[in-house]
Amino acid sequence: MAPRKEKLPDNVSSFVDRHGKRRYRWRKGARSAYLTAHPNTKEGAAELAAIIAGIAAPKQDTHPHGTVAWAATRYYTSTTFTGTKAPQTLHNARQILEKFVGEFGKDKIEHWRFDHIEAILAKAAIKTKNDKGRTIGGPSAAMNLRGELLPFFDYGFKLLGITKQNPVAQAASISVPKGGFHTWTELEIAQYRNHWALGTKARLALEIFLWTAQRRGDAAAFGRKHLIDGHIEVTPAKTKNSSGTKLNLTAAPQLLEAIAAMAVTGTETFLVNDYGKPFTVAGLGMRMREWCDAAGLPHCSAHGLRKAAARRAAEAGASNQELKAVGGWTTDRQVAVYTAAVEQKRMAEQAMAPVIAFDRKAQDDKSS
């Protein structure tokens, strides 16, 4: 079993800097400070308490003018970065950038060239294992990094009045395999169910993903408060506007059966970790990885179940608008991959049916 993610105090995050040293940072609003001691030690806890109380002033922005770190401190509070991003999207974007800033914070923005960016993206595209045994990196991770670096360098260049072309825009894109996460098949769903019986967290997780088509963050937050009069009412965290777009879904009997089979569920959420607390987004992803591996499905993932839910609906004849109503997608392009695949299959069957009938008749006529 993979090691558990380190539990840190509220508003404290960690990252590995360019020298391979793990560092801890407290951040709340515009205030931030790096801790000199581990936050879970007696010394670190005292240091953190002093920072929060304002006894020890948070470290001010002392980054040299024009460096990556200097631009980042300004970018994080700009509307260019915050814009209309949902909280979870904003958190993910910042995590991606923090790793880059942690490694290259001292470098001058103006010195960056396209080949520097290409080298970094090429490295990010290689899948590796971190110190907790989790797979990190890969083509999709590299493309996510490129997507965050592009507006960051645009902003940094504007701050400094640099007029040359953005090096990220000049850098070659990383090739990402089409389709992204593997979409679960019916055989794989059955295999997982056969391995994980009703009454287990693993089984409940699958049914939640499969019958709500939610992302990890929404599935982790899913609880009894979302079940209303035989329906599910949820507001996806990734919604771009502040008020959100509420989804009203049918509460499938299979999902209700899985919930009822649980001996214990959380007071806030149906799924809870080993400490009785709601899962974090990363925590639920890690456990799904363990549950899939145990069921002999190492190529399957939580997000693949969201795609399976869309595939099922498309195969049942759901239109683009109906698919968007189920999964919270906002554009036809986002659901076209499911409807296109189903339509191709339907047209192929329609095209081959008369050919098969013709060939069969020809053989029957010959034999007679």
Asked if the structure places residue 349 within a domain, the reply is: no
- How far is it, in rounded angstroms, from Cα 87 to Cα 107? 29
**CATH label of the domain that carries residue 161:** 1.10.150.130
Q: How many helices and strands, by DSSP H and E, does the chain display?
A: 15, 8
Q: Which of 60, 76, 101 is the last residue of a domain?
A: 60
List the end-to-end C-alpha distance of the chain, in Å, as a whole number.
Answer: 65
- Cβ pair 236, 245 in contact under 8 A: yes
Asked if the structure places residue 353 within a domain, the reply is: no
- Residues of the chain with pLDDT > 90, as a percent, come to 33
| Greatest C-alpha distance within the chain | 99
Q: Quick one: average pLDDT of 232-247?
A: 68
Question: How many domains, the chain?
Answer: 3
The reply to whether 69 and 132 lie within a common domain is yes
Asked if the structure places residue 367 within a domain, the reply is: no
Confidence band for 71, pLDDT divided at 50, 70 and 90? very high
Indicate whether 177 pLDDT > 70.
no
The reply to whether 32 and 55 lie within a common domain is yes
Three-class DSSP labels, 150-175: HHHHHHHHHHHCCCCCCHHHHCCCCC
Q: Which of 18, 38, 60 is the last residue of a domain?
A: 60
Strand ranges across the sheet with 12-16: 12-16, 22-28, 31-34
Per residue in 325-340, pLDDT (tens digit) is 888 777 777 777 777 7
Q: Which of 120, 142, 177 is the last residue of a domain?
A: 177
Range of the domain at 21: 1-60
The reply to whether 39 and 69 lie within a common domain is no
Residue 131, C-beta contacts closer than 8 angstroms, at least 6 positions apart: none
pTM over 0.85: no
What pLDDT was estimated at residue 155?
A: 94
Per residue in 88-125, pLDDT (tens digit) is 778 888 889 999 999 999 999 999 999 999 999 999 88
- How far is it, in rounded angstroms, from Cα 92 to Cα 215? 13
Cα distances from 285 to residues 81, 124, 296, in angstroms, run 26, 20, 17
The reply to whether 110 and 205 lie within a common domain is no
The reply to whether 51 and 72 lie within a common domain is no
The reply to whether 166 and 194 lie within a common domain is no
- How far is it, in rounded angstroms, from Cα 296 to Cα 122? 31
- Beta bridge mates, 7: none
- How far is it, in rounded angstroms, from Cα 65 to Cα 105? 11
The reply to whether 214 and 164 lie within a common domain is no
